[in-house]
Structure 1
């Protein structure tokens, strides 16, 4: 499963914040990431940061650094993608069973500007 470096802007600090994330699904110029936080009850900071400011940067070995725009996957998209993500990494299903929150899937799409 590809790993990417996601840089968000801290919602309170305004400072860049970088994390490494797995991307179980990729579609052309889009990467899909899962906000599982290991099944924790709270969303990961990177997720909360990109909700506040969806303009983020993704860096991969294959494509280098790219400016992207993040959006939360729609319920219809998640209904299709979630089983695929779990098939790629079975622990996502286990993480969802540990928490009452709905684990989000996020689309990171290369910005067109």
Structure 2
């Protein structure tokens, strides 16, 4: 379970306050399981903060992976840096859970690399073109993470 942490030198700057308010609304929607939001399926990812040790919640778009797993993308909207939830996963890949539609599942996180990442990336960008645009905004390779039920 190797996670890489390279950041880019250019990318989109995420707006702080608006982003936090939107995340709360998206988490509520994901927990209710009311179907796609903005054309994507949502889940709530629970991680343990790598510095604080506190529980952290993040709404994320997900895509179906093999054998009932979820694929998520650490795009940060095309930012030069990886999102904090990705760094938390890297520090604690076995202390992660997914919440969706009233169901909570403990998962193990694994970053995809090479041909496996390329195949998943093709599937993701075919389903949600904005991820292709995020890739064009930054010069870092956007991580794809597989969350497998434990």
Name the TM-score class by shorter chain: over 0.9
Contact 1:57 1:66 in 2 (8 A): yes
By how many angstroms is 1:74 displaced? 2.2
Cα RMSD for the two superposed structures: 1.1
> How many equivalent pairs are there?
110
TM-score, normalised to structure 2's length? 0.70
Deviations along 1:47-69, whole A, 9 cap, x unmatched?
0000000020101117x001000
SS of 1:11's partner is: coil
1:97 to 136, 140, 143: 136
Instruction: Please say if 1:109 is aligned against 2:123.
Output: no
The structure that is helix-richer by fraction is 2
SS of 1:24's partner is: strand
The structure that is strand-richer by fraction is 1
Q: Please, which runs of 5 or more residues in structure 1 have no aligned partner? A: none
Contact 1:25 1:33 in 2 (8 A): no
**Rg comparison, structure with higher value:** 2
Paired with 1:65 and 1:29, the residues of 2 have a C-alpha distance of 14
> After TM superposition, which residue ranges in structure 1, 4 or more long, deviate above 6 angstroms?
none
Paired with 2:64 and 2:116, the residues of 1 have a C-alpha distance of 12
Q: Please, which runs of 5 or more residues in structure 2 have no aligned partner? A: 1-39
